[in-house]
């Protein structure tokens, strides 16, 4: 599969395609932002590239511009959500780090106090 392909078996590709419903909060030509189905904070939004890549490192490899666009869309959503500059961005990478969907996605979390280090 080429880096720009869609994987018909990928959950987030299917959300991007509109085949599975999601609460979309923002989008660009290259990225989509939608609420996490299992929110871990008052604001918990996932920002994904439309292209199918497995993780953030692969996205950086194939398109640094799209990686930046994902980050910028997260910032836009944080502003929309009224987070006032206080939010956490997380890319879980690999199953040992908690990645369960192997389509790159940036977690935007905010609206509560954030502990460090994360669990």
Distances, alpha carbon 69 to alpha carbons 46, 48, 73, 74, 100, in Å:
13, 10, 6, 9, 23
Compose the 42-81 pattern: x for residues touching ligand DGP by CB under 6 A, - for all others: ----x-----------------------------------
- Return phi, psi of residue 26, to 5°: -170, 160
Please identify, among the stretches 1-9, 60-68, 93-101, 111-119, the one whose residues bind ligand DGP according to the rule CB under 6 A. Answer: 93-101
Catalytically annotated residue among 52, 103, 105, 107 = 105
Would you list the DSSP string of 47-88?
EEESS--SSHHHHHHH-HHHHHHHHHHHHHHHHHTT-TT--E
Residue choice 1, 9, 29, 38 for contact with ligand DGP (CB under 6 A): 38
Catalytic residue IDs: 105
Residues that bind ligand DGP (CB under 6 A): 11, 22, 34-38, 46, 92, 98-101
């Amino acid at each position: 599969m080429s880096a720009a392909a869609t994987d018909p078996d990928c959950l987030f590709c299917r959300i991007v395609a509109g085949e599975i419903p999601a609460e979309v909060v923002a989008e660009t030509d290259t990225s989509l932002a939608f609420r996490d189905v299992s929110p871990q904070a008052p604001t918990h939004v996932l920002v994904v590239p439309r292209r199918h890549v497995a993780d953030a490192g692969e996205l950086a490899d194939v398109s640094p511009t799209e990686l930046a666009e994902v980050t910028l869309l997260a910032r836009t959503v944080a502003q929309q959500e009224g987070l006032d500059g206080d939010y956490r961005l997380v890319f879980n990478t690999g199953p040992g780090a908690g990645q369960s969907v192997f389509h790159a996605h940036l977690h935007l979390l905010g609206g509560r106090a954030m502990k460090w280090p994360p669990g």
